[in-house]
Amino acid sequence: MSKLTIKTLAKELGLSIATVSKALKDSHEISSETKKKVLAMAEQLNYVPNPYASSLRKQKSKTIAVILPEVADNFFSLAINGIQSVAETKNYHVLIYLSHESFEIEKNTVNHCLSGRVDGVLLSVSSETSDAAHFEKLKNENIPFVFFDREFENFAAPKIITNDYECGFLAAKLLLSKGCKHPAFLSTSENLSICSKRSAGFTAALTEEGFIKDKHEFVIDCTGTPDTIFDQVQELLKNNPQIDGIVASVERLAMQIYMVSVANSITIPKELKVVAFSTLETAPILNPSLTTITQPAFEIGKTAAEVLFTMIEKKKHNITADSVMILPSTLIERNSTLA
Amino acid sequence: MSKLTIKTLAKELGLSIATVSKALKDSHEISSETKKKVLAMAEQLNYVPNPYASSLRKQKSKTIAVILPEVADNFFSLAINGIQSVAETKNYHVLIYLSHESFEIEKNTVNHCLSGRVDGVLLSVSSETSDAAHFEKLKNENIPFVFFDREFENFAAPKIITNDYECGFLAAKLLLSKGCKHPAFLSTSENLSICSKRSAGFTAALTEEGFIKDKHEFVIDCTGTPDTIFDQVQELLKNNPQIDGIVASVERLAMQIYMVSVANSITIPKELKVVAFSTLETAPILNPSLTTITQPAFEIGKTAAEVLFTMIEKKKHNITADSVMILPSTLIERNSTLA
């Protein structure tokens, strides 16, 4: 079966192409009787308008792009569900792009979103992103965009984030209150807004308690695959047996801390207390159950999408850096931080 | 800044639009010197071709759609990574659509994919899907499509799946070998190919051992949100205290079995042994560590994408039902099934 065009439809009905086209657009120039006939035939023949031709005419793609580092991560998969929940009510399609933490891929993807392919962009930056020229391009083309979770600091665009600094502070205070003398903070990349703010909060709490001499004793970068993270964590704990508490800045680090503790017979929480930034559903059934700072992932995605659609619909996209919304995270104490 | 068209580019270079257009397409009619000049200027002015206009001309969207039930699930998020790994090498974009297990949404999404919006579709059916008319439409429009993981049985299209029947059989045999006398199988929907095959394998193993009188004593459907699944599992175990082993057909069921056992002080594996179809990264660090049948999720996604691109590139999409590829899963014994 060849594709059904409006021409075929018109021929089938014995009407002009213009009449059929107007009828499909519910034009007042066409009688309701003719409209009914056209719609019935369109339904019967399963006529679907060509989306590209239609986009060219309307200059609307009815599509938004979501650019994020990874989908095999609870935070992002929940955030995507939040985004989709809004897009569905707007009859919009969601293009999901993964940067895999690569600045190069992120730039190429943003370039690809220029020139009418999408009506707006939701973005959570890669850990390598060090320059904002690609965000400038979106702005110059008047394409609405919103940062969620991981923002690019010092770049003016709406940002939907959580209270990272405060939670880093809380996590350190919790470990100290449970008796830790040498807590460490595992970061993935100090480039990332979420990590730098969480670690700044952590460091501030330690400084306040008179704990710190050299920041680098306590804040350590860990990156790579699960295996390389395992090796880095194992190395760290071997070389620094005094470490008695860890704040994991993202959940994939927490998993490897548990794996290392199993492999090296380190008892959590007796020898090592652990608190993780995580939306992990299995946190309550881990061995031991994991104390988490749980981000409102679904709500962050949902709110970011709502802000984006406000911009798309009202064309308010000259937004300044002060349009930051902070949705607070929740500290949930479990057995991994028992005193 | 207004959008840069090929016309502006031509004006800027003092060349005709046709020349610039041909140069950008690397036509043999244009000298390499001119090509270099055009490309340099395009780069300098950040010229991006209009994707819709370009799609209309080429009749290629350079986009594939992935339609699946859920992204907040390890299996699917890993499968998406597998799909993306192939799409990236082909310079294709991936549109991800979630059906949220709704037949209605799945149908609408498939309809949306007709008429040139995408060059191919990868599909894992919703648990509600009971009719194949929407798949027929894809076929009638000659849009290549491939089922992955969850297929629609009796519909002829390439299918990339795992050895579900065999693994259901293995799981039951494992529970019996560990001393279980009343193992149960938790399904999400007997509509689903993966569930019906896994439960058929389970039932076959029990029958072989002379265990079964009534299938429904052992195979139970559990669906809904985490909370409703919790309630169903709790009810099941309360009303059937003889149940001493469970096979969870999908990982979200396993999580709730653990939650119920914590809430009701049921000791795993002493009082209840558990084996789950799961790609859960935290399986080894759960309390107790979880015995899993681990599907090759990334490879299933990757293979499905490879088959789809073969069809897109070679236009072989009159494929019969015998083009089924089975990538086997792995049984990993851990503490949740200790004798």
pLDDT tens digits for range A166-212: 999 999 999 999 999 999 999 988 788 899 999 999 999 999 988 86
Report the distance separating Cα B106 and Cα B98, nearest Å: 8
Element (H, E) at B126: none
Q: Dump pLDDT digits (tens) for B30-74.
A: 777 887 788 778 777 767 655 544 444 455 778 899 999 988 788
Question: Do A81 and B72 count as a contact with CB atoms less than 8 A apart?
Answer: yes
The H or E element spanning position A261 is helix A251-263
Residue A180 CB partners (closer than 8 Å, separation 6+): A244, A245, A273
Report the residue from A80, A111, A289 with minimal CB separation from B48. A111
Residue A32 contacts B where some CB pair is shorter than 8 Å = no
Q: How far apart are CA A225 and CA A206, in angstroms?
A: 30
Residue A226 with chain B: CB contacts under 8 Å = 281
B289 inside 8 A of chain A by CB: yes
Q: Which of residues 179-218 of A touch B (CB under 8 A)?
A: none
C-alpha distance from A76 to closest chain B C-alpha (Å)? 8
Give contacts of A137 with chain B, Cβ < 8 Å: 46
Q: Which residue has the higher pLDDT, A214 or B245?
A: B245
pLDDT digits (tens, 9 = 90+) for B111-166: 888 867 789 999 999 989 989 999 999 988 889 999 999 999 888 899 999 999 99
Could you say which residues from 228 to 247 on chain A have a Cβ atom under 8 Å away from some Cβ of chain B?
A: none
Is residue B261 within 8 A of residue B267, CB to CB? The reply is yes
Q: Per the CB < 8 Å rule, is B93 touching A73?
A: no
Inter-residue contact A201 to A165 (CB < 8 Å):
yes
Q: Which CATH superfamily is domain A58-161+297-327 in?
A: Response regulator (3.40.50.2300)
Amino acid, res. A52: Y
Q: Which of B321, B81, B272 minimizes the C-alpha distance to A68?
A: B81
- CATH architecture assigned to B164-294: 3-Layer(aba) Sandwich (3.40)
Q: Which two tokens stand for residue B149?
A: 């993981």
Contacts with A72 from chain B: Cβ below 8 Å: 74, 77-78, 80-81
More confident residue, A139 or A320: A139
Q: Is it the case that residue A321 has pLDDT exceeding 70?
A: no
- DSSP designation for A283: G
Residue B136 CA to residue B147 CA, distance in Å, equals 13
> Among B88, B81, B74, B141, which residue's Cα sits nearest to residue B110?
B141
Interface membership of A54 toward B (CB under 8 Å): no
Rounded Cα gap, residues A288 and A295, in angstroms: 21
Of the pLDDT bands very low, low, confident and very high (cuts 50, 70, 90), residue A64 is: very high
Pairing relation of β-strands B291-294 and B330-332?
antiparallel
Q: Where are the alpha helices (DSSP H) in chain B?
A: 6-13, 17-24, 32-45, 51-58, 74-89, 103-112, 133-140, 164-177, 193-208, 215-218, 226-239, 251-263, 297-314
| DSSP reduced 3-state for A60 | coil
| Predicted local confidence at residue A44, as pLDDT | 72
Provide the residue ranges of all domains of chain A, joining segments of one domain with +. 6-49, 58-161+297-327, 164-294
Give the separation between CA B91 and CA B21, rounded to whole angstroms.
Answer: 21
Which secondary structure element, helix H or strand E, spans residue A90, and what is its range?
none
Dist CA B278 CA B281 (whole Å): 9
> What whole-number percentage of chain B has pLDDT above 70?
89
Window B:82-101, CB contacts with A under 8 Å: 84, 93-98
Higher pLDDT, A20 or A277: A277
pLDDT, position A20: 83
Partners of B116 on chain A (C-beta within 8 Å) are: 3, 50-52
Distance from CA of A213 to the nearest CA of B (A): 35
The 10 Å CB-count burial string (b at 16+, else e) for A50-70 is: bbbbebbeeeebbbbbbbbbb
B45 touches chain A (CB under 8 A): no
> Which residues in chain A have Cβ-Cβ distances shorter than 8 Å to B255?
281-282, 285
Confidence at residue B248, expressed as pLDDT on a 0 to 100 scale:
97
Q: How high is the pLDDT of residue A1?
A: 38
pLDDT at A115 over 60: yes
Write out the two tokens for B135: 């798949």
Cross-chain residue pair A93–B95, CB shorter than 8 Å: yes
- Residue type (1 letter), A240: N
Q: Under CATH, which number does the domain B6-49 receive?
A: 1.10.260
Q: Is there a contact between A282 and B284 if contact means CB atoms under 8 Å apart?
A: no
Q: Which tens digit of pLDDT belongs to each residue from A123-178?
A: 999 989 989 999 999 988 889 999 999 999 888 899 999 999 999 999 999 999 99
Tokens in use for A145? Answer: 């965009």
Cα A207 to Cα A219: distance, rounded to the nearest angstrom: 13
Q: Give CATH for domain B59-162+297-327.
A: 3.40.50.2300
More confident residue, B4 or A36: A36
- Within 10 angstroms of residue A32's Cβ, the number of other Cβ atoms is 9
Size of interface A-B (CB pairs under 8 A): 130
What pLDDT sits at residue B26?
Answer: 65
pLDDT at B142: 86
Sheet holding B273-277, edge to edge: B219-221, B183-187, B245-248, B273-277, B291-294, B330-332
Whether the domain at A6-49 and the domain at A58-161+297-327 fall into the same CATH topology? no
Q: Which residue has the tokens 């009905």?
A: A13
Residue B216 — very low, low, confident or very high, per pLDDT cuts 50/70/90?
low
pLDDT of B290 > 90? The answer is: yes
Helix ranges restricted to H, B163-192: 164-177
Question: Which carries the bigger pLDDT value, residue A70 or residue B277?
Answer: B277
**More confident call, B249 vs A116:** B249
Name the residue among A73, A117, A285 with its Cβ closest to that of B255: A285
Confidence band of B315 (pLDDT split at 50, 70, 90): low
pLDDT higher than 60, residue B337: yes
How many angstroms separate the CA of residue A260 from the nearest CA in chain B?
10
The pLDDT assigned to A50 comes to 53
- Lowest mean pLDDT: which of A133-142, A322-331, B4-13, B287-296? B4-13
